[in-house]
Structure 1
């Protein structure tokens, strides 16, 4: 920000002008209080985003002995590898089976044991059990869960949705405050003018960082919004519509496909989260001597079907849950054009649904592409580096904003700096803020709550100031 620190000094104003100015003083306060609320969360999201961004490198560094193997000419069948995993946790139920994504990678089997998920790794060529870890307890998984919902479930998801909304509000008001009003020039706008030894230097750093970060942060916030539980869920319900003919002849079960996803692990793509999970026909089951294992097709048959249907490596196979459950072959690909979601009848192996990139509505294609860009997965190390720089800029923007408030807070107390005299009526920013409140309901509700609270507090403060002081008699 390039405004001077002096307080406004003007002739007496009309009542209307005073009301208008009071409105803008309130908006000025909100910009700073929103920053104090949003900045810590932006710092957390940036740090966890960096960790998850480099998940492939972290996996190679932390779990090389579990995930990398030496290729050989022959491999074990999927059923034999699954049996090997179950032998180490016989009481556990199998959640999913992840075939080797590459020739030099191990097979991963996810099992649930007493409410805890374990990822086991097996050499597909020798059948050797390589080890295991808690699926949700790895550093990338913890980072993803914090990034998704603060590890607080629906409540944390709602908090982050409000944070994203207020972040958009900060961008609008911050861009207005930054906008140069004294003629052209890059100094203090796109580049700092002074060193960080002074407060003005920090102000320039904040403004210049905001300039270079604004577009990237806007992209982060909007693309992240599509994954939120409330607004993102409503958005998906409106736009993720598939032709009814894809499901008319398929018996459906109660939960949607999003039931297969968790905060620490993505199974099916966003585009199919709202689609129904089909149901297997139980009468297809043959009578067996092992009623606890009624499936008529083997896991290896499912792997073969995935290959025959052209599913790219890296997919997972979620095993059926109950007698009406289905096998779900899902690929949440780095390149969304390779996304695949297939549901198979567990008894006959019939493909009940097959959803690919070409089946996505155009909005879903935009969102899926945005998500992969958000996650830095589409264009290799260069893409990762760009996302890393953006995350680092967000960290600098947040820290410099907090430091500026700390330096300028009035009388060393919790408050906001005085309204600058060079600030004209920012109608455009206020109108955009109101539109954002209408577009994102949780932001609008929080804006209304803050408005009411702010009104009550400032009326109380004004009443205290106006009340005559009692003079104690000696």
Structure 2
């Protein structure tokens, strides 16, 4: 069997090694937290049954009476959000801010009794979501996750090149040689799993990156556009709808994140430059009217109502639906009850529609249990690839060395490496910058260290 061109093969192997070294810990974390969030519909009722379920009654309290009960129980708190019951046996939920903490408070909508509370950012799903998106360390975590996802793309592409059969077929290519021992069986598990899961993993990485702070924001600004006329007939601030989302809770859909927040008309002329707040909210309309608007406009159950926090703010009725075709985002003037914006699926552009569909597939929501099981399989394949890759490295590492795949002296690294760097720098800015840094370190330090073995090809 003819050998592949050793120079480029070794380059691909070397960069696959570096990418795996950085990406593996993140992929394990993302897979584990992803599994937790994936099964949120099953886990939440199991873990928080006493908070989430109630015995149905004949008559429920209206939203304003429910809010009054919360205000009585939390007199020093600010009510941030209201989530009406999604069905007759479900509790109502209020999100309140008290002493700097955000709490989920659950209330029986029939009897008005408070069922309990939980820290909105420290319950299981909030922690899993925050770890998954920002490692629970804010902007730095977001950038690290984005960097790991971008390097993950490089890991998949280089892995496919290393996997390429080159005249072989069957065992070791399409299925693992489980009868073998030692490093060969781990190599087969790693390569075969990576091959069958490559397409799904690329989908997971790219659909997840639409939420990131650098690549995702640029992607949204380029591709996610609404007609300017949609926002011309209302006073609007410089604050974007993404301000309603945080690492623990998704309020508005991705398609709406870079749209401007409207301003309640009565106070629009008093706004400071840039949409700064000039006073506390003082809604002139009741919360129940927001529920009535949602009902009249056929917003799917499961929506939230975010209350205005300033005198210029608006009520926002939003549902981030499992089926994006049922998405709805309404902004309502807090003094007059005028619906300033009502954005639905039909207003999304084609890219926004495809992205929203991708996000729901990513989260396992679009096709119910089947979607969950497919995404679970992807997460398990990620875990197997990460573990098998680490075991392979551990078995081949030299005594006292890192075990970096060798870089031959005849490698024409300039042309190929710079083309790869340039392409990645355009597609994934953070990856491009980090790739240049690592390449310089590799060239200046690692490739000149003594003691790295001229190992055999990883395909053996």
2:311 corresponds to which of 318, 323, 326: 323
2:203 corresponds to which of 216, 219, 225: 219
Q: Is the 8 A contact 1:172 1:433 kept in 2?
A: no
The residue aligned with 1:91 is: 76
2:66 corresponds to which of 71, 76, 81: 81
The residue aligned with 1:14 is: none
The residue aligned with 1:367 is: 355
Q: Is the 8 A contact 1:405 1:417 kept in 2?
A: no
User: In the superposition, relative to structure 1, how do residues 340 and 110 fare at CA in structure 2: closer, same or farther (>3 Å)?
Assistant: same
The residue aligned with 2:458 is: none
Deviation at 1:3, TM superposition (A): 12
Distance 1:225 1:293 in 2: 35
Distance 2:237 2:21 in 1: 45
User: In the superposition, relative to structure 1, how do residues 283 and 173 fare at CA in structure 2: closer, same or farther (>3 Å)?
Assistant: closer
SS at match of 2:116: strand
Segments of structure 2 that go 5 or more residues without pairing to the other structure are 269-278, 451-460
The residue aligned with 1:38 is: 23
User: In the superposition, relative to structure 1, how do residues 106 and 211 fare at CA in structure 2: closer, same or farther (>3 Å)?
Assistant: same
| Within-5 A mapping of 1:264-413 | 264-282=248-266, 294-413=282-401
User: In the superposition, relative to structure 1, how do residues 156 and 145 fare at CA in structure 2: closer, same or farther (>3 Å)?
Assistant: same
Deviation at 1:254, TM superposition (A): 2.8
| Within-5 A mapping of 1:141-156 | 141-156=126-141
Deviation at 1:205, TM superposition (A): 0.8
**TM (normalized to structure 2)?**
0.90
2:226 corresponds to which of 242, 245, 253: 242
Deviation at 1:453, TM superposition (A): 1.3
Deviation at 1:253, TM superposition (A): 1.9
| Within-5 A mapping of 1:424-463 | 434-458=422-446, 461=449
SS at match of 1:137: coil
The residue aligned with 1:67 is: 52
| Within-5 A mapping of 1:148-187 | 148-183=133-168, 185-187=169-171
Deviation at 1:25, TM superposition (A): 4.0
SS at match of 2:97: strand
Q: Is the 8 A contact 1:28 1:419 kept in 2?
A: no
Q: Is the 8 A contact 2:251 2:319 kept in 1?
A: yes
The residue aligned with 1:120 is: 105
Q: Is the 8 A contact 2:12 2:161 kept in 1?
A: no
Instruction: Tell me the alpha carbon deviations over residues 165-207 of structure 1, each in whole angstroms, 9 at most, x when there is no partner.
Output: 1111111110000010124x22111211134642111111111
Distance 1:457 1:305 in 2: 65
SS at match of 1:155: helix
Distance 1:458 1:314 in 2: 54
User: In the superposition, relative to structure 1, how do residues 56 and 251 fare at CA in structure 2: closer, same or farther (>3 Å)?
Assistant: same
Deviation at 1:402, TM superposition (A): 0.8
User: In the superposition, relative to structure 1, how do residues 249 and 296 fare at CA in structure 2: closer, same or farther (>3 Å)?
Assistant: same
Matched pairs, number: 437
| Within-5 A mapping of 1:6-25 | 25=10
The residue aligned with 2:457 is: none
Segments of structure 1 that go 5 or more residues without pairing to the other structure are 9-19, 285-290, 463-474
Instruction: Tell me the alpha carbon deviations over residues 87-129 of structure 1, each in whole angstroms, 9 at most, x when there is no partner.
Output: 2211010110000112211100000112210000111111121
User: In the superposition, relative to structure 1, how do residues 360 and 145 fare at CA in structure 2: closer, same or farther (>3 Å)?
Assistant: same
User: In the superposition, relative to structure 1, how do residues 392 and 23 fare at CA in structure 2: closer, same or farther (>3 Å)?
Assistant: closer
SS at match of 1:131: strand
Distance 2:121 2:443 in 1: 44
Distance 2:251 2:172 in 1: 46
- Pick the structure with greater CA Rg: 1
Q: Is the 8 A contact 2:281 2:311 kept in 1?
A: no
Distance 2:356 2:281 in 1: 36
User: In the superposition, relative to structure 1, how do residues 101 and 430 fare at CA in structure 2: closer, same or farther (>3 Å)?
Assistant: farther
The residue aligned with 2:36 is: 51
